[in-house]
């Protein structure tokens, strides 16, 4: 594409004239979203008829895009754009002459020509810009979708004051005037100018249509069916939806609907910038993933529940209020805007000479969504009686698109590494037309060349990339631990805000996250090599919103049934599961010499989430942090007075941080191509005896840490009732987390096996100390001795958490010499890294059951013996076994790690290829 003859001034004028023109065209195209409501009242239309009326201009505007795109390629955008605006002006003015339903349908058909302007503008603008700037330029142009918001902001006021006919007349005058202005001040694009200078004739329409025979063009257009078609459909449907569901007037409905149309339009420019900078595929993932979450939330209908309990029938109502609805559609609109820009980033790259035809086809398919979907929305309401059925349909649509896209990408990339991976297109449907000049133009963030054991590579940039991924991973993991352990604080406050749960029911709420988190870790252990670390970290972080928001809503109503709380407690296990995938992901980034410290920092600072939740939640529930948006407080007794308590903040406080962390993960983290593997590839760890041995040892360290964290408050309260130990509860997890992050270097320096032996001996001392002070608990100062011994235990678990994880990669590198004797060093290293990551995740899954079994052991010991001493003696015996196993298998002379930890040779698998 020749853009040499276009100066910056010419480009800017072409872009801004086209964008303003498209804004006005889009305002006219969606005019029926407002005037259609009044026309419906005059004609007495049902929902299906109304859907057909507002969808008819979308149909004609979509179908004509293909023709207009071809004409633009042939005759130039200046002429065609002007023709479109003048024709739309006439059609819009004549709309006021319609009096019955067929006449309105016919008039709407011709008004739709305004929607065809998009295909004209895409072809016209793209010819002024080089490839590296086309995404941003087309994003700015596409922001003209904001015309839908303009109509929703202004048209209701004109309609109420002067009638719908005046709206049509004013809009007709605006688009006609813009057509004249565009003709006067615009200029021909570089391609048309060059064609005229060389006396060349334009290609025939049949040649323009030639690219459309490629199946990938049609497959790719399906993405646009959601990001654009659903946007248009909702722009038309939301005013009616808001009036019927929330009972607002037409002016309020228009302004609230604009909260969707505005971000879905203006941020398209930002989507173009992100596509240029980070890759169109990454932006498409974000658009579809957020679309799945948003439409799922919006699709839940208002529901009244009647739950039979032992105390009788309990009823409660679940419904999304108008404010959360507006916020959610704002978020949905924002990401739709990004997705629209990402789709059109591909077209000028792959079809530089046929932008109009291909852009017209893709726009036509997307626009057809704006026609089909409103009709489907109306039909679904008529059939089901559910207004939220429109979002149910969109949820199925976007979920199918996301799954199909991701599965296709993974199939395309499976088994491809190194330079070959770099040469693949961003999306598999482009494989047939992907040429050398397209390589890297739409690239994402996959690291195809990753050699951390190569010192030159590591120093020249590898370390910086690894550290960036680490420091993004840490806050995500901290939030995961916070959500996992939030019930340890919430359950203590439920009775004070009116919930009548028994003590046993409250204990189950505190214990269930431990079970679900441990089970999920088993599956999360294998997710990073399958999905990629960046994608899975992002998805796992977003998943935390479900329990966080759910808790925030559930605790506000004392009538919320206990089974719903059980479900939320189980969902908090998402936070516990994230640890396995996070540690697996970070293990791929660092060399052997720094792996222990990196994993210690990730896990140690992530473990701080346990301490943070026990420190922060008691503070935020006493203040209206979110104002009116956070809901009303419950009044609770505080001595002789009453004080407000915002228990919902225990969930809501994490929401903004989860969103920020998910954004950071997607836009800042990387996938490592060589780390990809299927579940079958990783399942080999179940045949490795060291996998099961390390499960035992890590249960002794991390299982003790998380179990003591969950059980200490209850244990202290039962054994020392005169002491308010809850105010000190956060100190134990804090010490354990800090010791883990601060002592990883010890395992790197002296060897993880030797440090682990010392850790278990120290834990044996700690348990004996706890037993001693429990024996003299009636004496003054006994609690402080008891507390000090637990701090010693927490410190030791932190050190042991770091040292055991440092052992795993060294063990597997050593084992590769035995398991793969004929393989080269690079192959051994890659296999060792994959198995180490899987074992790291799986051992953390097994160890997480400590969150349930240690508190449960206290309760069982009390039931059978009247005290907790039997449980503590059991822990002591377990630590003795861990010492013996670690020494016998790993650190003694002849053990697996003896030579490595005493300065012997590095396993062959650890040596990079020459």
DSSP assignment of 343-355: HHHHHHHH-TT-H
Alpha helices, DSSP H, located in 820-910: 825-847, 850-865, 869-886, 898-901
The tally of CA atoms less than 13 A away on the side-chain side of residue 505 is 14
Q: Can you tell me the distance from the alpha carbon of 328 to that of 800, in angstroms, rounded to the nearest whole number?
A: 44
Q: Count Cβ atoms below 10 Å from residue 154 Cβ, excluding itself.
A: 17
Query: Tokens 């599961």 label which residue?
Result: 577
Q: What are the DSSP calls for 591-628, one per residue?
A: -HHHHHHHHHHHHHHHHHHHHHHHHHHHHHTTS-TTGG
pLDDT at 441: 44
Cβ atoms 113, 91 nearer than 8 A: yes
Nearest to 207 by CA among 34, 405, 358: 358
> Which runs of consecutive H residues, i.e. helices, occur in 186-321?
190-197, 205-209, 215-224, 231-246, 250-261, 263-266, 268-278, 280-298
Query: Mean pLDDT per 10-residue run, the chain (914 residues)?
Result: 54 86 88 84 80 81 78 82 92 87 88 84 80 67 75 81 88 92 86 73 47 57 77 78 81 72 66 67 82 87 70 69 79 82 66 58 70 81 86 89 78 64 57 50 55 79 83 88 79 76 70 78 72 79 85 80 82 80 78 73 75 74 60 66 75 83 80 58 68 85 80 73 69 78 75 88 92 85 87 89 81 81 77 74 74 73 80 90 90 82 50 32
Alpha helices in 544-688 (DSSP H): 545-554, 562-571, 573-587, 592-620, 649-652, 655-668, 679-682
Coil, helix or strand for 467? Answer: helix
- Closest to 609 in 3D by CA, of 486, 727, 510: 486
What's the CA gap between 546 and 483, in Å, rounded? 10
pLDDT at 206: 41
């Amino acid at each position: 594409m020749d853009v040499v003859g276009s100066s910056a001034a010419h480009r800017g004028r072409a872009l801004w004239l086209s964008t303003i023109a498209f804004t006005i065209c889009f305002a006219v195209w969606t005019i029926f979203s407002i005037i259609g409501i009044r026309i419906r009242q005059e004609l007495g239309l049902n929902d299906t008829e109304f859907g057909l009326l507002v969808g008819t201009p979308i149909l004609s505007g979509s179908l004509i895009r293909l023709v207009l795109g071809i004409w633009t390629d042939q005759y130039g955008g200046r002429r065609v754009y002007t023709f479109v605006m003048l024709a739309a002006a006439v059609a819009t003015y004549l709309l006021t002459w319609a009096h019955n339903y067929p006449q309105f349908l016919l008039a709407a058909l011709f008004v739709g020509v305004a929607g065809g302007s998009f295909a004209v503008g895409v072809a016209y603008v793209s010819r002024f810009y080089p490839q590296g700037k086309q995404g941003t330029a087309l994003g700015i142009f596409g922001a003209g979708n904001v015309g839908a918001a303009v109509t929703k902001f202004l048209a209701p006021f004109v309609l109420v004051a002067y009638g719908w006919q005046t709206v049509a007349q004013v809009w007709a005058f605006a688009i006609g005037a813009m057509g004249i202005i565009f003709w006067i001040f615009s200029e021909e694009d570089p391609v048309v100018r060059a064609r005229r200078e060389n006396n060349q004739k334009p290609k025939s329409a049949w040649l323009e249509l030639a690219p459309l025979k490629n199946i990938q063009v049609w497959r790719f257009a399906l993405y646009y069916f959601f990001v654009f078609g659903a946007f248009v459909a909702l722009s038309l449907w939301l005013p009616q939806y808001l009036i019927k569901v929330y009972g607002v007037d037409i002016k309020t409905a228009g302004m609230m609907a604009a909260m969707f149309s505005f971000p879905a339009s203006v941020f398209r420019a930002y989507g173009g910038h992100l596509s240029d900078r980070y890759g169109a595929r990454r932006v498409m993932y974000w658009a579809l993933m957020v679309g799945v979450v948003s439409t799922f939330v919006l699709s839940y209908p208002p529901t009244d529940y009647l739950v039979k309990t032992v105390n009788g029938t309990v009823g409660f109502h679940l419904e999304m209020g108008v404010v959360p609805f507006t916020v959610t559609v704002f978020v949905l609109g924002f990401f739709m805007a990004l997705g629209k820009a990402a789709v059109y980033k591909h077209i000028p790259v792959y079809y530089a000479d046929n932008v109009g035809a291909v852009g017209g086809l893709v726009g036509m398919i997307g626009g057809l969504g704006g026609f089909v979907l409103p009709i489907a929305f109306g039909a679904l309401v008529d059939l089901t009686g559910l207004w939220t059925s429109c979002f149910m349909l969109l949820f199925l649509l976007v979920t199918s698109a996301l799954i199909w896209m991701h599965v296709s990408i993974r199939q395309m990339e499976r088994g491809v590494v190194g330079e070959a991976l770099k040469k693949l297109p961003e999306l598999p449907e482009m494989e047939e037309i992907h040429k050398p000049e397209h390589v890297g133009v739409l690239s994402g963030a996959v690291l195809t060349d990753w050699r951390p054991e190569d010192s030159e590579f590591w120093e020249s940039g590898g370390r910086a990339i690894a550290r960036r991924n680490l420091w993004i991973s840490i806050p995500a993991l901290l939030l995961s631990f916070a959500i996992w352990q939030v019930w340890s604080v919430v359950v203590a406050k439920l009775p004070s805000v009116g919930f009548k749960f028994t003590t046993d029911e409250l204990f189950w709420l505190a214990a269930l996250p431990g079970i679900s988190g441990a089970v999920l870790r088993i599956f999360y252990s294998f997710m990073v090599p399958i999905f990629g670390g960046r994608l899975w970290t992002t998805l796992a972080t977003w998943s935390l919103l479900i329990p966080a928001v759910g808790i925030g809503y559930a605790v506000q109503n004392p009538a919320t049934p206990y089974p719903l709380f059980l479900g939320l407690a189980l969902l908090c296990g998402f936070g516990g599961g994230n640890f396995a995938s996070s540690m697996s992901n970070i293990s791929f980034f660092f060399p052997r010499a720094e792996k222990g410290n990196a994993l210690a920092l990730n896990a140690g600072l992530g473990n701080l989430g346990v301490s943070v939740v026990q420190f922060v939640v008691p503070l935020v529930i006493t203040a209206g942090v979110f104002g009116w948006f956070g809901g009303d407080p419950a009044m609770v007794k505080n001595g002789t007075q009453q004080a407000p308590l915002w228990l919902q903040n225990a969930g809501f406080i994490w929401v903004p941080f989860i969103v920020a962390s998910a954004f950071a993960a997607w836009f800042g983290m990387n996938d490592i191509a060589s780390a990809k593997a299927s579940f079958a590839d990783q399942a080999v760890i179940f045949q490795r005896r060291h996998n099961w041995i390390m499960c035992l040892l890590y249960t002794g360290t991390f299982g003790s840490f998380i179990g003591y964290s969950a059980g200490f408050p209850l244990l202290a309260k039962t054994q020392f009732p005169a002491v308010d130990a809850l105010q000190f509860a956060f100190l134990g997890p804090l010490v354990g987390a800090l010791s883990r992050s601060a002592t990883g270097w010890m395992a790197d320096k002296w060897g993880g096996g030797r440090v682990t032996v010392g850790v278990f001996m120290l834990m044996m001392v700690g348990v004996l100390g706890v037993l001693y002070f429990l024996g003299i608990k009636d004496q003054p100062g006994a609690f402080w001795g008891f507390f000090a011994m637990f701090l010693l235990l927490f410190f030791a678990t932190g050190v042991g958490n770091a040292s055991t994880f440092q052992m795993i990669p060294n063990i597997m590198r050593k084992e590769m010499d035995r398991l793969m004797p004929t393989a080269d060093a690079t192959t051994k290293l890659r296999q060792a890294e994959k198995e180490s990551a899987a074992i790291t995740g799986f051992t953390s899954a097994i160890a997480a059951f400590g969150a349930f079994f240690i508190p449960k052991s206290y309760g069982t010991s009390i039931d059978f013996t009247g005290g907790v001493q039997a449980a503590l003696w059991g822990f002591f015996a377990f630590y003795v076994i861990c010492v013996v196993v670690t020494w016998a298998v790993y650190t003694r002379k002849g053990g697996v790690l003896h030579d490595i930890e005493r300065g012997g040779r590095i396993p062959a698998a650890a040596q990079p290829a020459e």
